[in-house]
Structure 1
Amino acid sequence: MNALWWLALPILLLPVWWHRKKREQHKAEPLATSRFLPRTEPRQTREWSWQDLLLLLVRCLLLACAIAWLADPVMPSRGDTVIVAEGTDAQWAEREAAQAGLSKAERLSLPAGQAIAFLRTHQREWRPDARLLVLGDIPMPAMAPEFGRRIEVRTLARPFERAERHVHIASTRLEQWRRVFAGQGAVFDEAPGAKTSLIVWDRPDAPPASLRAPLWLVADTTAFPELKKAPQVGGLHYADSPRGRLWHAASWPPQTAEAARTLLEDWQRLHAGPPAYTMPARVFDATASVRAPEPSGALRGILMAVLVALFVLERILSHARRR
Structure 2
Amino acid sequence: MSPTSLWWWALPVVLLPVLWHRQKRAQTKTVPLATARFLPAARPLQRRVWRWHDVILLLLRCLLLAALIALLADLVLPWRGDAVLVAPGTAPSVVERDAAGFAGAHRIDLPGRDAVAWLHAHEREFAPQARLLVVGDAVMPAVLPRFRHAVVLRTATAPTVPAERHVAVFSARDDAWRRLFAAAEGPWHVVVDAAPGPRTELIVWDRPEVPPMNLRAPLWWVADAAPWPGLAQAPSADGLRWMDTPRGRVWHADGWPPQEPDRARALFAAWQQLHVGMQPYTAPAQVLAPDAGAPAGAASGALCTWLGMALVALFALERMVTHVRRR
Equivalent residue for 1:289, pick from 293, 308, 311: 293
1:93 positional shift: 1.8
Residue segments in structure 1 that go unaligned for 5+ positions in a row: none
Deviations 1:276-323 (A, max 9, x none): 111111111111221121123243332222122112222233333344
Q: SS of the residue aligned with 2:34?
A: coil
Aligned length: 318
Q: Which range moves more in the overlay, 41-50 or 208-217?
A: 208-217
What CA RMSD, in Å, does the superposition of the two structures yield over aligned residues?
A: 2.9
Q: Distance in 1 between matches of 2:183 and 2:324?
A: 77
Q: Distance in 2 between matches of 1:166 and 1:6?
A: 53
Q: Which range moves more in the overlay, 230-239 or 6-15?
A: 230-239
Give the structure 2 partner of residue 142 of structure 1: 142
1:155 positional shift: 1.1
Over 3 Å counting, the alpha-carbon distance change for 1:92 and 1:42 in structure 2 is same
**Contact 1:12–1:63 under 8 Å retained in 2:** yes
1:114 positional shift: 3.7
**Amino acid in structure 2 at the alignment position of 1:314:** E
1:279-318 matches, within 5 Å, as 279-318=283-322
Q: Distance in 1 between matches of 2:137 and 2:45?
A: 79
Identity of matched residues, %: 50
Scaled by the length of structure 1, the TM-score of the pair is 0.85
1:167 positional shift: 3.0
Q: Which range moves more in the overlay, 167-176 or 257-266?
A: 167-176
Scaled by the length of structure 2, the TM-score of the pair is 0.84
**Contact 2:87–2:136 under 8 Å retained in 1:** yes
**Contact 1:23–1:47 under 8 Å retained in 2:** no
Q: Distance in 1 between matches of 2:228 and 2:321?
A: 65
Give the structure 2 partner of residue 84 of structure 1: 86
**Amino acid in structure 2 at the alignment position of 1:127:** A
Q: SS of the residue aligned with 1:148?
A: coil
**Amino acid in structure 1 at the alignment position of 2:249:** L
Over 3 Å counting, the alpha-carbon distance change for 1:292 and 1:196 in structure 2 is closer
**Amino acid in structure 1 at the alignment position of 2:260:** T
Q: Distance in 2 between matches of 1:197 and 1:63?
A: 52
Give the structure 2 partner of residue 22 of structure 1: 24
Q: Distance in 2 between matches of 1:312 and 1:246?
A: 52
Residue segments in structure 2 that go unaligned for 5+ positions in a row: none
Tell me, yes or no, if structure 1 residue 246 matches structure 2 residue 224.
no
Q: SS of the residue aligned with 1:46?
A: coil
Over 3 Å counting, the alpha-carbon distance change for 1:102 and 1:63 in structure 2 is same
Q: Distance in 2 between matches of 1:160 and 1:237?
A: 30
Over 3 Å counting, the alpha-carbon distance change for 1:24 and 1:218 in structure 2 is same
Q: Distance in 1 between matches of 2:13 and 2:5?
A: 16
Q: Which range moves more in the overlay, 277-286 or 50-59?
A: 50-59
Give the structure 2 partner of residue 160 of structure 1: 160
**Contact 2:231–2:243 under 8 Å retained in 1:** yes
Q: Distance in 1 between matches of 2:108 and 2:243?
A: 40
Q: Distance in 2 between matches of 1:108 and 1:287?
A: 23
1:33-72 matches, within 5 Å, as 34-72=36-74
1:85 positional shift: 0.8
Q: SS of the residue aligned with 1:76?
A: coil
**Contact 1:94–1:103 under 8 Å retained in 2:** no
Q: Which range moves more in the overlay, 53-62 or 295-304?
A: 295-304
**Amino acid in structure 2 at the alignment position of 1:58:** L
Give the structure 2 partner of residue 123 of structure 1: 123
